[in-house]
Chains A and B, each alone.
Chain A
Amino acid sequence: MQGKIRAQLLKGTTPLLVLSVLRDGELYGYEIAQRIRDRSGGAFIPSEGALYPALHALEADGALQASWRESDRGPRRRYYKITSGGLAMLDEHAQEWATFSVAMGHAVGGSDR
């Protein structure tokens, strides 16, 4: 039940989480999922099925830039780097999220402003 609620709450936040972890440097897909999980202390585990469509959509919108690099495991890996447009998008999403979470806290907590 708890997992389902979390999945519902995570819907729509994948781009924000992806942009947030990529602000610190280039990562490949699996690393991005791991980094999100680690940063949230295991609270957020993005759906892997939603991760790649989100990454590719952000790339199509110009927020990310992808490039193939050699990996120590054999085949090449696709690394993602945030662009200046992506940083602007991250700021915008973060502000919206802050406003949203405060309002949600008030609404759920029942306290008047």
Chain B
Amino acid sequence: MIGLLVILAGLGVFVTATVAIVRRAEWRLRPGPRNTAGLASPSDDPVGSYVDRVAASLALPAADVRDVRAELLDHLGDSIATLEDEGFSHDDAVREAVGRLGPAPELGRQLSAAHQSTRRLLAGAGGGVFAAAGGFVVGYLGGIGASLLMFIGAFLAAGLLAKVGFAPDLTGPDNGSTANSLLISMTIAVAAATSIRFAVRTSAGLSRRAPKTVAGFWALAGVVVFGWLAIFGVSGQQSWYSIPIELAVPFIAVAAAFCRIDRPMPHIARWAIASFAVLVIVTVAVLGMATQTTTGSDAGAFNGPEPDMHFDLVAAPAPAAWLGEGDLSDSGSSEATGSFGTTFSIDLSRGASANWHDLRFEAWHGLPNGDGIDTRYTAAFLIQPVSSEDSTLTATLHFERIRQPGSWWVFLTGVGPDGRRYSLDNSGGGTSTFNGSAWDWITAPQ
């Protein structure tokens, strides 16, 4: 409990620090009203025209450009007044004052270089990395919150539909795979977008570079880091609904870096972020505890077989004479090993083994609730030859790498002395869900 509180407090401090550093950098990117009063410079005026040309050659954030414009206009005003006092006509004074500042593009180039010191570049890089990490946390929490709101909306819609006689089953068909996979993929997508947005704005503000100048770097970093994370790095339940979102994450990162990047980010109060974070964390913790025993890829066993289960579709039962009475020790056992597969083992005496070859475990699609073999299928969806150690035959079946394993039944089959394949034993049934990365899903053998 104390550990959880420490983690929550640390997360809160980290998020608060992130918001603070982003805000500080954002200040440089906002034009702001403080420098605008009285500084409108008509472009047909030689002074205004000169300052416009200097400003156009500045590769700086908006606030810096406004500062430079204001400072040059102020300087030229003073300079012209002094020259007029010295006897210059107004036009000559303007020409002389502008001439003393030198060519506009050269002054703009020198001013840009003066602003973009190595110190500020390092601050921009460090601040950008910090903001990217903090933005990922903020976006992650925001993504979870958005997903939860979407699910609440879906359940409310389902409730309304139920009232008019149409009751969609939102969780039953795939053990929640679709919902969980959507939660994961949407969370990553929102987190990637927020992280890159925070990083670009912070880097630009602290390094005094225009956001579009640093956007390219962060877009590339986002494609590499978040693209890898979404497609290869994050393992979990997947579905055809989540895969497009995960594949789109690199494009989302690029869009977050470039699209309207010059516009300020919406202001969100710190207390609102903190309250939202606490709400999301508590909700997730409660939901996690409530669903801990019903989710995941581990195999869950059905009860024993009943009549009319259509097991004869697999193969004809093995003649007892070839098994040897009492040789098959039991109906099999399964050991769920999470994402590393489900292992089945059966004891078969050496005498009985001599009658069989090409022994293997076959997994067949089952009907929901353990009601036997799904008769729409005429072949096993997963086959694994056995390995034998003494009298124990073992095979590991990777249901977690099958896109839609759902309900299944596993049988030990082998080729008998007459050259025909028989079913030696039904090793039980269960349910599983896919558990892997988006790339695992795409390359799954199905």
Task: Write the residues of chain A forming the contact surface with B, with a CB cutoff of 8 angstroms.
Answer: 28-30, 47-50, 52-57, 60-62, 68, 71, 73-78
A49-B106, A53-B107, A68-B34 known, 12 other contacts, Cβ within 8 Å: A29-B74, A49-B102, A52-B68, A53-B111, A56-B115, A60-B115, A61-B119, A68-B67, A73-B74, A75-B39, A77-B74, A78-B74
| Docked CA distance A47–B106 (Å) | 13
- Contacting A68 at CB < 8 Å: which of B35, B68, B110? B35
Q: Which residues of chain B come closer than 8 Å to A78, judged between CB atoms?
A: 67, 70-71, 74
**In the A-B complex, the 4 residue pairs with the closest CB atoms:** A49-B102, A57-B114, A53-B110, A56-B114
A–B Cβ pairs within 8 angstroms, 5 of them: A30-B75, A53-B107, A53-B110, A60-B117, A75-B73
With a cutoff of 8 Å between Cβ atoms, the chain B residues found around residue A54 in the complex are 114
Q: CA–CA, A30 to B77, complex, Å?
A: 10
> In residues 192-250 of chain B, which contact A (Cβ within 8 Å)?
208
Specify the main secondary structure of chain B where it touches its partner.
helix
| Chain B 2-43 interface mask (CB, 8 Å, partner A; 1/0) | 000000000000000000000000000000001101110000
Q: How many residues of B contact A (CB 8 A)?
A: 31
Report the separation of the CA atoms of residues A30 and B107 in the bound assembly, to the nearest whole angstrom. 16
A52 in contact with B70 given A30-B75, A75-B37 (CB within 8 Å): no
Residue-wise, chain B 107-122 has the 8 Å CB interface mask toward A (1 for contact) of 1001101111101100
Q: Which of A49, A55, A60, A68 contacts B119 (CB 8 A)?
A: A60
Q: B113's closest neighbor in chain A, by CB?
A: A53
B167 close to A (CB within 8 Å): no
CB distance from A53 to the nearest CB of B (A): 4
Minimal beta-carbon separation of B423 from chain A (angstroms): 80
Q: Is B312 an interface residue (CB 8 A)?
A: no
